[in-house]
Amino acid sequence: MDVLLTGGAGFIGSAVATALSSAGHTVRVLDALLPAVHPHQEPPPFPDGVEFVHGDVRDRETVERALHGMQAVCHQAAMVGLGLDFDDAPDYAGCNDLGTAVLLSAMARARVARLALASSMVVYGEGRYRCAEHGEVVPGPRRPADLDAGRFEPPCPRCGAALSPDLVDESAAADPRNVYAATKLAQEHLASAWARATAGRVFALRYHNVYGPNMPRDTPYAGVASLFRSALARGEAPRVFEDGAQRRDFVHVTDVASANLAAVGALSEQPPGHFRAYNVGSGTVHTIADMAAALAVGGPAPTVTGQYRLGDVRHITADSRRLREELDWRPQVPFATGMREFATAPLRH
């Protein structure tokens, strides 16, 4: 299959390019090489046969040229990070939502009807919680006064009792709690509307905490795994926010790439107008402190700071059964193996 891969020069995108190419797909990468992520304005090395087009997904003419002859699109291009400062909102909306709208309109004109969309677990906000008295509940945003006092767990919104975190599946209501999350949810809505209007087919892959070799280092857009690795490379102790007990699902980048490969292969089997979201996670739960300790073997021990970021959520972990059952996908990299590799793997400057 001929696949246009937007954002294919990025951390996840380059892994997806390798997976698609290795499986026999013809891959064309479109990437703007934005300075925030690619300061040297150079793409990474791609497998033989992968075509690279330097251009912005927000530019209509560039996208139309890149789509020529393609049969499917794997859309990874996005501005990532929390977007805690609302001064960044126009940049996030421009890169993520305007870029997606331009791409979808060009796909409609070119009659390219298959889309694998990179989404995120951030669309859920907080994860799923249960109260011993009231069952499943949705906690409100955490209050600064509680966080300042070191009370990091969200209480039951009805009785104030402690809650038990649980896995979140795709049926959970969306509750984006920062700018980035809002733009990722908007991407899903745009793609769903496009599918209905054009008889297209969409899989939205909601990535959980992705890590692995070639993560960008020392940038505001890096994930927490990369920030910890960068600190250790400088000989500094990783700084763990809150108390380190935040629960996450850490999934290796090669497993995320294989999920994209499965999605691209299955899109042609779906009916016209189809939209379906899938969690992409390892299926195992670990804390932020677990990850910091796994990476710090042989280096400075992590420092638990008690500091917090107001836009962060406490617990968010995936139920990925839908992806396993419907697309026959299985993660292959266990947490211990992946973190041991990542502890010495190269990072992108």
Active site annotation includes 207: no
Question: How far, in whole angstroms, is CA 158 from its chain's centroid?
Answer: 32
Q: How far is CA 198 from CA 28, 98, 156, 202, 274, in A?
A: 23, 19, 43, 11, 10
Q: Is there a contact between 258 and 332 (Cβ–Cβ < 8 Å)?
A: yes
CA torsion 334-338-341-346 (nearest 10°) is 160
Q: How far is CA 62 from CA 9, 31, 57, 198, 268, in A?
A: 16, 11, 7, 21, 26
Question: Per DSSP, what are the bridge partners of residue 222?
Answer: none
Nearest to 251 by CA among 287, 213, 224, 212: 212
The residue from 92, 124, 129, 180 that is catalytic is 180
Q: Is there a contact between 59 and 102 (Cβ–Cβ < 8 Å)?
A: yes
Q: Which residues are identified as catalytic?
A: 180
